[in-house]
Amino acid sequence: MIGKSQPEQAQSLLSRLFKHRQVWVGLLSLGAIATTLPAVGQLSATQLQQQLEAAVAQNNWPQALQIVDRLIPLAPGQANQLKQYRTKLEQLSRDTIARPSQPISTSQPQGLVAIKRRSGGVPVIDVVFNQRRTFEMMVDSGASITTITRPMAQALGIGSSQIVDYATFKTANGLTKMPIVYLNAVTVGGLTKTQVPVAIAGSDMEMGLLGQDFLLSYDVSLRGSRIEFHDRR
């Protein structure tokens, strides 16, 4: 989309999405919606838009539904259009289950974790830190780094002496500077990464985010009530 104006980019995106699956004709431009949205955690509106396009192109309806669920409360003026779009995605998801167009993978996942619930459409799972404390975390593929809350840091015995750096991140409240510390281990679904750098959020964050630094090590599949982690091939 290089060289196009923002309205042209929005129209181009919408055309590709709806021509690909005939999802919805006449829906308000997702690009126009995206420009009115704040950032979500580490995830910008533009990234949400790009991820939605990618999810639809890959027939990843659960992921597309998750992204739309995150957009709805952030764009109340476009909520009705987004809900109509979500209804079409749900229909495509049901049709895919009834008539799968691609063979279902029979490979066994390397790791498996149950989805306890969803918060604003985002899966919430249990994550074990330093092999001794378990906390609920939101799975946020848009977060570049795993982020823990201040109460989590206190429970893990993390003090100011363990801060190794500071980094600035774009959050819903604007640019925020967060301290970076290293954890001995982060375990999800039986998979463990050691010496993991994490950010410590401000007092406004109530639940931590499991970010790309962990997720990108695997092929991640959302399976309704669980998340599977497969070796990258």
Q: For the segment 117-150, what is each residue's pLDDT rounded down to a tens digit?
A: 988 888 999 999 999 999 999 998 878 889 999 9
Total domain count, the chain = 2
Residue-number span of the structural domain to which 188 is assigned: 111-230
For residue 105, tell me if it sits in a domain: no
Same domain, 129 and 156: yes
Same domain, 11 and 46: yes
Same domain, 116 and 93: no
Q: Which of 51, 72, 98 is the last residue of a domain?
A: 98
Same domain, 73 and 175: no
Check residue 1 and give its pLDDT. 39
Provide the CB-side half-sphere exposure for 37 (13 A, CA).
27
Check residue 46 and give its pLDDT. 63
Same domain, 83 and 154: no
Same domain, 132 and 42: no
pLDDT of 5 above 80: no
Same domain, 206 and 130: yes
Check residue 45 and give its pLDDT. 57
Same domain, 43 and 146: no
For residue 104, tell me if it sits in a domain: no
pTM of the model: 0.53
Check residue 144 and give its pLDDT. 84
pLDDT bracket for residue 95 (50, 70, 90): low
pLDDT of 77 above 90: no
For residue 103, tell me if it sits in a domain: no
Domain CATH code at residue 219: 2.40.70.10
Check residue 155 and give its pLDDT. 94
For residue 106, tell me if it sits in a domain: no
Instruction: Specify the higher pLDDT residue, 61 or 131.
Output: 131
Look up residue 76 and give its two tokens: 């109340």
Check residue 16 and give its pLDDT. 45
Q: Above pLDDT 70, what percent of the chain?
A: 70
pLDDT of 37 above 50: no
Q: Which of 35, 67, 98 is the last residue of a domain?
A: 98
State the average pLDDT for the chain. Answer: 75
pLDDT-wise least confident of 108-112, 159-163, 193-197, 226-230 = 108-112
CB under 8 A, 24+ apart: contacts of 32-39: 32/7, 33/71, 33/75, 33/78, 33/81, 33/82, 34/10, 35/6, 36/75, 36/77, 36/78, 37/71, 37/74, 37/75, 38/74, 38/172, 39/170, 39/171, 39/172
For residue 53, tell me if it sits in a domain: yes
For residue 65, tell me if it sits in a domain: yes
Q: Which of 98, 121, 147 is the last residue of a domain?
A: 98
| pLDDT tens digits, one per residue of 173-230 | 678 889 999 999 999 988 899 999 999 998 888 999 998 888 888 888 888 788 988 8
The mean pLDDT of 92-100, rounded to a whole number, is 58
For residue 62, tell me if it sits in a domain: yes
Same domain, 68 and 28: yes
